[in-house]
Structure 1
């Protein structure tokens, strides 16, 4: 297997006293000399390439991740696309301070989606980010040697080993665990277990050997013409990347934390921060609220400021400062007013992933012709596994009693009531379509609704393709079937 190691910088690539970044070429020479023999002895099929073609605006050509900017996400993604045809997988060495931001951003830069969130150009090879809490090398009079007390060697080895699983997604490896990149968060500055994933179990773990974890990997390209290996798909990805890089400067996203303050004062501090962000040219806001995304309304000043932002074309996402849990329907009176502003609930996305996703979608919007409605729908949809899917079922998935699908582009809900069965309702709550139950909706080659005894209570027409079932709410509530490649069926299963 051909694995390319791309060094962006960070602690893992520092050396000396005081610590300073190693020049890219010197790091690549030391890594090739000190790492390659051991790695190839353990993995005889491995062919390693230490790339030196990525250069940032710094004397060493690498970058402390504290200084990394959104445009640098594009540089990293661009280098991966440049080398894509020559390698079977990629390991990206990165500083830990913003590794979770880059790991969240790269999936949106290396995949291209249609307005329904289905892949038009899809990553087909593993991209694994890793780094270290201590440098990989130690300087001696004879030159660099491996830092025996550090975690860098184990992390590089584990990243290469898990890349050999060929999971077609961006992941982050640290301290024996492979996490989905856009689910990871940095949780410690002192432990070797520097990253965790509060909403998703590991994709893989390394110990005595490497084994798959509890989390289900992404499926990868649904058809050869959707894979980045295909020249047309690669062209789509490059065009999108160019558009994002050009559009980031005009689509600034700012994250604002909600903190205890006198929100009922004539000029609430959070309202002033929102207005200041708008004055600074923000086109997107990520608010990290309390609990399930609650934001105090106070005497109305915060609500007015947010409404001014939304009315001015600013896209607002509401996340939570709580590591676990989800922001969805605003249940509490303290947050119910948020739904009326048009803000998008982040679901179980981390604030880091919400920031990266909003930044990239806004920068890509003009290129794809996405309006505000399309942007909000895409933010609500799980595109690369960054959140739990709320608007669709894919092959093998089941909508059990007590579960529901929610349209990302409107208020439609498909509710599987434990007593009454399957009911499709529009945004006003009116019934559109129903199948008496109780039962479970199973997506096989086509959707079927099975009773508790396994009897078929309803089945989709046999001439419709199976693969993905999507609930849409605009312009009317409907259930649409798509084949595994994402191509839509010529008719809807249910609708007005």
Structure 2
């Protein structure tokens, strides 16, 4: 029996025309998109609640998308392909994975080149858009429930996705979808209050640089004046940072103002290893050790924690729950 697929368009390079590129209005683009869809699949096209360049996307946009998917699920859709811009595609993928869990078959995709030519009246002579879309459509009916990212004939678990190149067709990496890994499985039904609360979500990532510790402390003290909801410290290697008592005291002061501090690594692949020196000082510095599958996944988990818990103490108590 043919499975019906909801194809949701959210903008990005995929739907741009002109030189320089600019987005074609969705109501004009969708009929052209329908024209190139494979005839051997039952596909219905939808326009996402928010259409914009992905560099401008925030948590509220992805939560509205999730809410839209959950509404379509009530209409008996269980297979979804999302066309999204590549700039924040890894973040979108991780957020959808954290909130949808194993509730549906969802494949994210996009393209490095537009589907249409500059005039917008025909398909572009050279484009990866058609290949990426057909690959995503094929994957959504062949793979188990879960959220995936399909790009340049590679399918990866969405929660692990990472953009690794700005312009090459092979632009994303992550854990291959055929490889079993432990993923977030908790389904979260997005409510209007989630979207409202997400609008104020303030997440700041501070990548450590090889500078004197006095300068590191000075940077933290600047943040201490107006701390975000969550401060992500990207350490070296397995999460190592040079610290002293003043550094730790400054972290305590930031934490005391309701800021959740999470330690991760700036290295793209691999996780924090507690067998190294990093583990000693973290035990009494009021910080959380990341257990996420990548930087975008850490953002997604922090967002979900922010929506679920009101105090930083609750973050510490529930961080290692299956969020």
Please, what TM-score do these two structures have when normalized by structure 1? Answer: 0.60
Unaligned runs of 5+ in 2: none
Change (3 A) 1:217 1:336: closer
Match of 2:5 among 3, 6, 9: 3
Partner of 1:402: none
Instruction: Give the Cα–Cα distance (whole angstroms) in 2 for the partners of residues 75 and 153 of structure 1.
Output: 26
SS in 2 for 1:380: coil
- The correspondence of residues 302-451 of structure 1 with structure 2, limited to 5 A, is 302-329=247-274, 331-332=276-277, 336-347=280-291, 349-366=293-310, 372-381=312-321, 383=323
In the other structure, the counterpart of 2:194 is 244
What is aligned with 2:150? 173
Give the direction of change, closer, same or farther, for the CA distance of 1:357–1:180 in structure 2 (3 Å limit): same
Root mean square deviation, CA, Å: 2.4
Gap change, CA 1:357 and 1:363, over 3 Å in 2: same
- Alpha-carbon offset, residue 339 of structure 1: 2.3
CA distance in 2 between counterparts of 1:296 and 1:352 reads 25
Higher helix share: 2
In structure 1, the gaps of 5 or more residues are 57-61, 112-122, 204-212, 222-227, 229-235, 384-496
1:300 matched to 2:302? The reply is no
Find the counterpart in structure 2 of residue 215 from structure 1. Answer: 180
Change (3 A) 1:152 1:71: same
CA contact (8 A) 2:86 2:110 kept: yes
Aligned residues: 320
Normalising by structure 2, we get a TM-score of 0.90
Question: Which one has more relative contact order, counting CA pairs under 8 Å at least 6 apart?
Answer: 2
- Residues in 1 aligned to 2:172 and 2:146: alpha-carbon distance in whole angstroms: 18
Q: Secondary structure at the match of 1:336?
A: helix
CA contact (8 A) 1:127 1:163 kept: yes
Partners of 1:354 and 1:150 in 2: CA distance: 32
Q: How far is 1:262 from its partner? A: 1.2
CA-to-aligned-CA distance 1:207-247 (integer Å, 9 cap, x gap): xxxxxx233586979xxxxxx7xxxxxxx6133xx332222
What residue is the counterpart of 1:103 in the other structure?
93
Superposed displacement of residue 259, structure 1: 0.7
Q: Which residue of 1 aligns with 2:53?
A: 64
Higher-Rg structure is 1
